[in-house]
Amino acid sequence: MDRSSSGAGEGRGARPTAHELARYEALFASRTRSMKSSAMREMMALTERPDVISLAGGLPDTTTFEPELYAKLMSHVAAESTARALQYGPTDGMTATVDCIVEVMAAEGTLIDPSEVIVTTGGQQVIDLVCKALIDPGDVIVAEAPTYPGAVPTFGAYQAEVAQIEMDSDGMPIEELEIVLDRLQARGRRPKFIYTIPNFQNPGGVTMSLARRRELLVLEDNPYGLLRYEGEPLPTLYSLDAEVLGSGGGADLVIYLGTFSKILSPGLRLGWAVAPRPVLEKLNLGKQGADLCSSPVTQLFVAAYFNERDPGGGRRWRAYLEQLKVLYSRRRDVMLEALADHFADDARWTKPQGGLFIWATLDERIDTTDLLALARESQGVAFVPGRAAYVDGRSGSSSMRLNFAGVPEEDIREGMRRIGKVVREQLSLIGTLSGSVPSSRNLARGAAEREPGTPPGGEAAQVDRGVAGGGLRAGSPGAGQDAGPGGDDSGLADVVALPRRASEGSARRRRDR
Amino acid sequence: MNEEKKVAVLKGGPSLERQVSLRSGAHAQEALVRLGHEVLALDVGPELVPELRAQQPDAAFIALHGRDGEDGTVQALLEAIGIPYTGSGPAACARCTDKALAKYLMREAGVPTLDFHFLREPSVRQLGAAHAVADIEGRLGFPLVVKPASQGSALGVKFARASDQLPSAMVGAFSYDDKILIERYAKGRDLAVSVLDGPATDSTRSPPGRTGARRAAPFALPVVEAVPREEDFYDYESRYEIGMTTFVCPAELEADTAARAQELAMEVYTLLGCHGVARVDLMLEAGGDDLWVLEINVVPGLTETSLLPQAADAAGIGFDELTARVLASAWTR
Ligand SMILES: Cc1ncc(COP(=O)(O)O)c(C=O)c1O
């Protein structure tokens, strides 16, 4: 009997069953102890509100997909493949979908053997399945720092020890990687795999030659490869590895992760892995246990979509991709401009040649988790604090991840203006508290926006750059041996900033404040 | 035995402790349903007051942590619309939630609390407060802990080992509240004593929506110790992180230390005017037997792993009984 009624925003009422933890505690697997929540993640759960401009999402812009095309494809699937769409499918995926994957990979300049593909429920499932297949508690994964925030709780759930290596502008510095590997070796440890997200700047050749020399498996997580806005495409690690092997076959040290999420739609929940056959078999067994198969409805949707032709006979998906690239690169430029306008000189940020995000790093005395609390509360703007991309939950504390792809231009400008305002206020306060000599350079751009009542040139508007910042936490970022898991599944939703149920449909409402 | 009441459980809201609050609320709801009450679950938001007016519950069970729910805002609203509610009133809420105010009151009353200074952000901009920071450092010495005056979660609690770390620590704390306190750092054991009003008499006979039941004298529950999983001197924040701590109840203490902790908790409960229930956090400083009162929570967590339910359990008060007693506090004001 459920006697509770629901009130403002409450979906489910109380169940009368007893939920005393003690009754279940003895049943929980030891891994659940490492599936913890954190205050930072809980705060991020609060950022997806309709009144907040969120630069925190990991979202592409799905409003650009033509409703008529969507309707046409869905009815095509419904009419032409009723029974198949409603039926279970093969665990490794439907042939028609694998054909699309081969086509996408070819567009990436990577030839693959269709029998080495497994279709998954999003790229996220690949990360999970690879861990399931390879990671025993305490096993080591080497990852970049920062890494994909959504991988952090997955690594945690499998109780992996993650060594994160701070990236420079060329990616994971190979010397650092060698040092970490040697250090691990001295402890008799060897990473199960290297988890890497190719960015658009750094060629993977160096990484691959090292992986080859050390016989290390690489998980190449490449959701954005086709979303390159400028510069020459870089070969995938997968293709580099296959090339070295020659013989026209696949790679033997690379597990490639791809997804339709960023080039088409994350709502389809379709991704894939290309892997050496023995690994593929384990992924397949793991997937059988996880969900038997990915949805045939969306697989057939993808197949139908990839069959679409333009009036001119070109591939429709390529045209849509071009359209996305134009849109996203413009938004990236808007954000870069806004960064230059609103962030002080001592902030640094990436100038990505593709993808969805900019990674910005502020004065080291600013903790972006605190900044988020203030920015959300006082300015109604959100971003992902850098710590979310670090397995120890502490490093990266002066950085932030900013999504430009899923945010309209005016919101990017306004959002960045708001963040810049809070940053300047914090820097000015730090400067004042440090008793520093005003320096007119640092906040020059902010001067126009000084709070009314603050004397121009007064201490409140300035910050001294000479004062050494006080890092609050022990351990330098990316020191390498940061073991320890983090996050539970609600934390995961927070990190990739999925839309919250209640605000679905209102996500694109105008925010006036 | 108990008369069935219509009870609105207030939980969630936009506070930084939203998640914990949702769990506390859900847990209390289950108990209230088992106790035979009609439960109205409210995730508080702009519809709160209209919803309460429309539903006219006999009482509001407050399971809100942090802003609004713990600082007296919601309590004052409930008084305005005439709905009895659990726990402390607006004045006690304000006194406890503002950690600086609570510490000043304790200091005046001779209750031991770690030495501290209070600072407001506007005074940095408007009154040259930065020039007082050196004096504060000199008086308290390093290391120091900087906390937002009213923020219950780990967020914003900062640790400064030396002068050059203090400004960013302060600005971090100011991100959550324009009032902060800078406190001497003490190393020691973290203890918590929950105080509960005795079983109310007549609560079941008093008509809904009316006070009148007699309030019985409060008493202290057994001491709980929070033991950090990994002791890390520099990592102050993780001590507050969920899952980073294990709890021992009753805490393994000398009998007279435990008794002193309980007496202090009772004293503070009365001093600050708490009602129904509260949790008092203390520290037993290492290398001595100094007990310090750190802070008081007027809406202690009610999740499966929270300190209050564990302490009650150790005193033979099950969760349903605990929930019933907290609910009864709505009618004993
Ligand atoms: C680097 C990276 N890997 C994997 C994923 C998972 O995406 P999906 O599960 O939607 O394919 C994402 C999504 O944001 C990502 O950014």
Residue A210, pLDDT > 90, answer: no
Helices (H), chain B: 18-34, 48-55, 73-80, 90-97, 99-109, 121-126, 133-140, 166-174, 255-271, 307-314, 319-328
Q: For the residues B144-149, what does the mean pLDDT come to? A: 94
A438 falls in which pLDDT band (50, 70, 90)? Answer: very low
Share of chain A above pLDDT 70, in %: 75
Measure CB to CB from residue B155 to each of A18, A43, A434 and give the nearest one: A43
Task: Give CA–CA dist B64/B201, Å, rounded.
Answer: 26
Which of A3, A383, A428 to substitute to test the interface with B, most B CBs within 10 Å?
A3
**What does DSSP assign to residue A377?**
I
A149 falls in which pLDDT band (50, 70, 90)? Answer: confident
Least confidently predicted of A116-130, A350-364, A458-472, B145-159: A458-472
Residue B33, pLDDT > 70, answer: yes
Please give the pLDDT value at position A491.
Answer: 34
Share of chain A above pLDDT 90, in %: 59
Residue A353, pLDDT > 50, answer: yes
Q: Which residues line ligand 1 (CB under 6 A)?
A: A 58, 122-124, 148, 150, 197, 221, 223, 259, 261, 266, 271, 496
Output the six-digit token pair for B169. Answer: 């620590």
A347 falls in which pLDDT band (50, 70, 90)? Answer: very high
Which of A175-179, A263-267, A387-391 is modeled with the greatest confidence? A263-267
Residues of A in contact with B9 (CB under 8 A): 14
A23 falls in which pLDDT band (50, 70, 90)? Answer: low
Residue A482, pLDDT > 60, answer: no
Least confidently predicted of A230-234, B191-195, B233-237, B325-329: B233-237
Mean pLDDT of chain A: 80
CA distances from B196 to A94, A410, B274 (A): 62, 53, 10
Q: Which CATH architecture has domain A53-57+318-505?
A: Alpha-Beta Complex (3.90)
Mean pLDDT of chain B: 89
Domain spans of chain B, in order of start: 6-86, 115-184, 187-331
Output the six-digit token pair for B117. Answer: 């200074």
Measure CB to CB from residue A470 to each of B39, B55, B168 and give the nearest one: B168
Please give the pLDDT value at position B215.
Answer: 81
Please give the pLDDT value at position A439.
Answer: 38
Task: Give CA–CA dist A151/A157, Å, rounded.
Answer: 10
Phi, psi of A6 (to 5 degrees): -100, 145
Half-sphere exposure (Cβ direction) of B5: Cα atoms closer than 13 Å: 30
- The answer to whether A256 and A47 have CB atoms below 8 angstroms apart is no
- Quote the radius of gyration of chain B (alpha carbons, Å): 20
Q: What is the pLDDT of residues A12-22, one digit of tens each?
A: 343 333 334 44
Please give the pLDDT value at position A42.
Answer: 63
Q: For the residues B130-159, what does the mean pLDDT come to? A: 89
Residues of B in contact with A5 (CB under 8 A): 39-41
The ipTM of this complex is: 0.81
Q: What is the pLDDT of residues B64-76, one digit of tens each?
A: 988 888 999 999 9
Share of chain B above pLDDT 90, in %: 72
Where in chain A do CATH 3.40.640.10 domains reside? 67-307
Task: Give CA–CA dist A444/A451, Å, rounded.
Answer: 14
Nearest chain B CA: its distance from A301 CA (Å): 37
Q: Any bridge partners for residue B43, and if so which?
A: B11
B235 falls in which pLDDT band (50, 70, 90)? Answer: very low
Residue B238, pLDDT > 70, answer: no
Residue of B nearest to A433 (CA): B130
User: Tell me: domain B115-184, CATH 3.30.1490.20, correct?
Assistant: yes
List b or e across A134-168, with b for residues whose CB sees 16 or more CB atoms inside 10 angstroms. bbeeebbbbbbbbbbbbbbbbbbbbbbbbbbbbbe
**Which fold does the domain B187-331 belong to in CATH?**
D-amino Acid Aminotransferase; Chain A, domain 1 (3.30.470)
B244 falls in which pLDDT band (50, 70, 90)? Answer: low
- The position carrying tokens 């604090």 is A385
Nearest to A394 by CA among B234, B274, B33, B165: B234
* Number of residues written out for chain A: 513
How many angstroms is it from B220 CA to the middle of ligand 1?
51
**Which fold does the domain A67-307 belong to in CATH?**
Aspartate Aminotransferase; domain 2 (3.40.640)
CATH C-level class of B6-86: alpha beta
Residues with Cβ within 8 Å of residue B327, at least 6 apart in sequence: B5, B7, B32, B35, B37, B59, B61, B86
**What does DSSP assign to residue B178?**
S
How many angstroms is it from A223 CA to the middle of ligand 1?
6
Please give the pLDDT value at position A44.
Answer: 65
Q: What is the pLDDT of residues A354-371, one digit of tens each?
A: 999 999 999 999 999 999
CA distances from A390 to A168, A351, A385, B241 (A): 15, 21, 10, 16
Please give the pLDDT value at position B15.
Answer: 81
Least confidently predicted of A89-103, A259-273, B61-75: B61-75
How many angstroms is it from A64 CA to the middle of ligand 1?
19
Residue B29, pLDDT > 70, answer: yes
Please give the pLDDT value at position A34.
Answer: 64
Q: What is the pLDDT of residues A290-315, one digit of tens each?
A: 999 999 999 999 999 999 999 889 99
Please give the pLDDT value at position A36.
Answer: 56
Residue A184, pLDDT > 70, answer: yes
Nearest to A56 by CA among A366, A334, A385: A385
Please give the pLDDT value at position A33.
Answer: 65
User: Do strands A161-166 and A140-145 pair parallel, antiparallel, or not at all (unpaired)?
Assistant: parallel
Q: Any bridge partners for residue B282, and if so which?
A: B191, B293
Residue A11, pLDDT > 60, answer: no
Please, what is the Cα angle at A503 between A500 and A508, to 5 degrees?
115
**What does DSSP assign to residue A285?**
H
Give catalytic residue positions of B. 17, 153, 240, 279, 281, 295, 297, 301
Output the six-digit token pair for A367. Answer: 């903790």
Phi, psi of B67 (to 5 degrees): -50, 150
Task: Give CA–CA dist A6/A248, Å, rounded.
Answer: 61
Q: What is the pLDDT of residues A59-87, one digit of tens each?
A: 889 999 999 999 999 999 999 999 999 99
Phi, psi of A386 (to 5 degrees): -55, -30
Please, what is the Cα angle at B162 between B158 and B164, to 5 degrees?
90
Q: For the residues B82-97, what does the mean pLDDT come to? A: 96
Nearest chain A CA: its distance from B170 CA (Å): 8
Please give the pLDDT value at position B214.
Answer: 77
Measure CB to CB from residue A430 to each of B125, B171, B232 and give the nearest one: B171
pTM here is 0.80
Where in chain A do CATH 3.90.1150.10 domains reside? 53-57+318-505
